[in-house]
Structure 1
Amino acid sequence: MKKKTLIAVICCLLLGFSAFGQVVKIATIAPENSPWGDGLKELAQEWSRISGGRVRVNLFFNGIAGNEDDSIRKMRIGQLQGLALTSAGLNLLSNSVFTLSAPMLIRTDEELTHVLSRIQGKLNTILSEQNVEVLSWSQGGWMKLFSNEPVETPEDLMAINLAFGAGEDSMNSMLTRLGFRGVGLSTGEILTGLNSGLVDAFMYSPIGAAGYQWFAVAPYMLELDFAPFLGAIIIDSRTWNRIPNQFRDEMRAVAARIGEEIGSQIRGLENTAIQTMERFGLKRTTISEAQRELWYDVFTQGLELSLGTIFDADLYREIEGIVEEMR
């Protein structure tokens, strides 16, 4: 009898799901006290409930496990089993996914929701080829331009120094080719760059601009959505396949619901962040429809030049067709 029990335990261990359960380590650069933090903590509780305590989720917030590039590497070697990634992190897995965040391609929340409903299955398949399972997608707000003087047209922005994300070489190459003067800075260097005069402007989410206090040095926000932020909760395929089948459907459904709730909370938080910054000196720069079209024209040209390199050409054309149907 003891021999049979020992054999059963060994078999469970070899299959990756022991009699004592499975620990799933999930990392994110998001703060713990944020919609992402709250959502992931709920995910951990729900997965434990669904599995009767056999699946335990350990969470690592605030980039404790490293930046998104580091975290992806750690997932590849088994130190982490899951991640909550931003658009930039998803781009490290596949530039096809990054096509969703191409500047000015998708212009409203309604367009983004509709596009996601049409191509989400395709994106999941693309990422499955990278040995990851997508458990949920979330809309994470919009990238906006903040500057230390009003910017109304592309020519205005070309005359000042724009902080580019350090390491985002492909996107930075496109912006430089369009005539923008970029300086590559990491997130931790942007405030110093603004204070020293090294850069005059940056593109980021209003939530981030408020949280990092960058808006205090660059208090002019252009009323134009440049690109959507996306987020996704993913898990290593090997880890997912080790979880017993009877738990997976409900676990996936919970993750999908939480992803939708995160998106709703972030949209509300973005508006709150803008209103809060306005109380502390933020000024909105409104533009005419003709000026708006100038921005669309410049970035459409840049996207066309970047198809097949930065952005997936086939997916771009598909998204373009979907949004044109709506407009």
Structure 2
Amino acid sequence: MKTVLLTLAILTSMNLHAAPIKIGVLAPEGTGWAKNIKKMTSEIKEATAGNVEIKVYYGGSQGDEQDVLRKIRIGQLHGGIFTGKTLGEINGDVRVLELPFTFSHNRTKALTTLQNLAPFFNQKFEQNKFKNLATFEIGLVYFVTQKKVQDLNAIKSLKIWSWDGDPLVTNMFESMNLIGVPLALPDVLSSLSTGVVEAAYAPPIGILALQWNTKVKYMVDFPISYSIGAFVITSAAWAKVSPADQKKVQEISKKYETEINNGNAKDNEDALTAMKAQKIEFVKFNDTDLKVAQGYRADMIKKLRGKLFSEEALKKLEAELLKK
């Protein structure tokens, strides 16, 4: 009987870790972010003696983020490295950090706020049956356009891509009275080529990785938001990892969280430099637009508080913004 029980225990342990954890990510292979993800997953596999293998599908090969989340829901995938849009479908409170016109050019303040609120967000992820292994900053978000605009009011004349199904973006477009063209992310490049849209928005690393820089002439040097991401897997997938291996995975993920954030910051700076070298003109807005933008932000908060994100999340954000 002891032999039978021992055999069953071994087989159970083998089955527990045999199948890889499959995740999807939009980041294309070859980008700095993708390279760090590869290093992270390789180190996790080595540290856990192959017990935890993470198979990553890069470059949107599993579809847009919405497709990846749907595949997670039906068990075809186990997780993803998502931007705030999709994270918000799991835990709406994270979107409070992406409220437009909150941080302006202050990337340091934005990152500190993200790090301070991460434990609160992680609790909410767990309540919704997901484990957050690492939280990332993607960077400050800018408009890029094919036509020159001198102020916020002028942007209203452009056909601007809006990420299909993003309630925060939809609300921003309504508050600012912008012309939105809802599209999936992979469709933006071709739409810029054909004139379906005349402007889009993303952090600099996204603008280059998605090749939008080849279709635009201007960048509005007036950050509209701060984009975040996270590496989440289902609680069910996480429960199949032994406690000892869970500890190793968390330690390695945390290490690469810092490396990826530092890498993204550098890549964003390099991307801005590259766009300038390509003769993309950086357009500055005046101080009047700063005041106008704060009015838009207040209107968005009024509409979204208690709906997209909780009052608790908003209070925590406002408390962080008061800190020096």
TM norm structure 2: 0.90
What are the ranges of 5 or more consecutive residues in structure 1 without an aligned counterpart?
A: none
Q: How far apart are the structure 1 equivalents of 2:113 and 2:158?
A: 34
CA contact (8 A) 2:24 2:77 kept: yes
Give the CA deviation at 1:68: 1.6
The counterpart of 2:230, out of the listed 226, 229, 232, is 232
Give the CA deviation at 1:221: 0.8
The counterpart of 2:47, out of the listed 47, 50, 73, is 50
* Equivalent residue letter for 1:288: N
Q: How far apart are the structure 1 equivalents of 2:214 and 2:61?
A: 27
The alpha-carbon distance between structure 1 residues 192 and 83, as it changes in their structure 2 partners (threshold 3 A), is closer
Matches within 5 A, 1:234-253: 234-253=232-251
What are the ranges of 5 or more consecutive residues in structure 2 without an aligned counterpart?
A: none
The alpha-carbon distance between structure 1 residues 116 and 191, as it changes in their structure 2 partners (threshold 3 A), is closer
Give the CA deviation at 1:22: 4.7
Q: How far apart are the structure 2 equivalents of 1:11 and 1:89?
A: 34
Give the CA deviation at 1:191: 3.3
Deviating runs (4+, > 4 A) in structure 1?
none
Q: How far apart are the structure 2 equivalents of 1:310 and 1:178?
A: 18
Q: Find out whether 1:76 has 2:77 as its counterpart.
A: no
**More displaced stretch, 270-279 vs 69-78:** 69-78
Q: Find out whether 1:24 has 2:13 as its counterpart.
A: no
The alpha-carbon distance between structure 1 residues 157 and 311, as it changes in their structure 2 partners (threshold 3 A), is farther
1:1-42 CA distance string (max 9 Å, x none): 7534443345446xx515xx4522222111121233222212
1:177-214 CA distance string (max 9 Å, x none): 43112121222333343344333222122222223332
* Equivalent residue letter for 1:75: I
Give the CA deviation at 1:295: 2.2
Q: How far apart are the structure 2 equivalents of 1:98 and 1:285?
A: 27
| Counterpart residue number, 1:115 | 113
Matches within 5 A, 1:1-327: 3-12=4-13, 17=16, 21-107=18-104, 108-169=106-167, 171-326=169-324
Q: How far apart are the structure 2 equivalents of 1:111 and 1:202?
A: 25
CA contact (8 A) 1:27 1:82 kept: yes
* Equivalent residue letter for 2:314: Y
**More displaced stretch, 132-141 vs 174-183:** 174-183
Q: How far apart are the structure 2 equivalents of 1:154 and 1:65?
A: 36
| Secondary structure of 1:55's aligned partner | coil
Give the CA deviation at 1:71: 1.6
Give the CA deviation at 1:291: 2.8
Q: How far apart are the structure 2 equivalents of 1:53 and 1:282?
A: 47
TM norm structure 1: 0.90
* Equivalent residue letter for 1:135: L
* Equivalent residue letter for 2:49: G
RMSD: 2.2
* Equivalent residue letter for 1:317: K
| Secondary structure of 2:323's aligned partner | helix
Q: How far apart are the structure 1 equivalents of 2:300 and 2:171?
A: 10
| Secondary structure of 1:310's aligned partner | coil
- Percent identical residues: 19
* Equivalent residue letter for 1:231: G
**More displaced stretch, 63-72 vs 302-311:** 302-311
Q: How far apart are the structure 2 equivalents of 1:188 and 1:250?
A: 35
The alpha-carbon distance between structure 1 residues 185 and 24, as it changes in their structure 2 partners (threshold 3 A), is closer
Q: How far apart are the structure 2 equivalents of 1:141 and 1:78?
A: 31
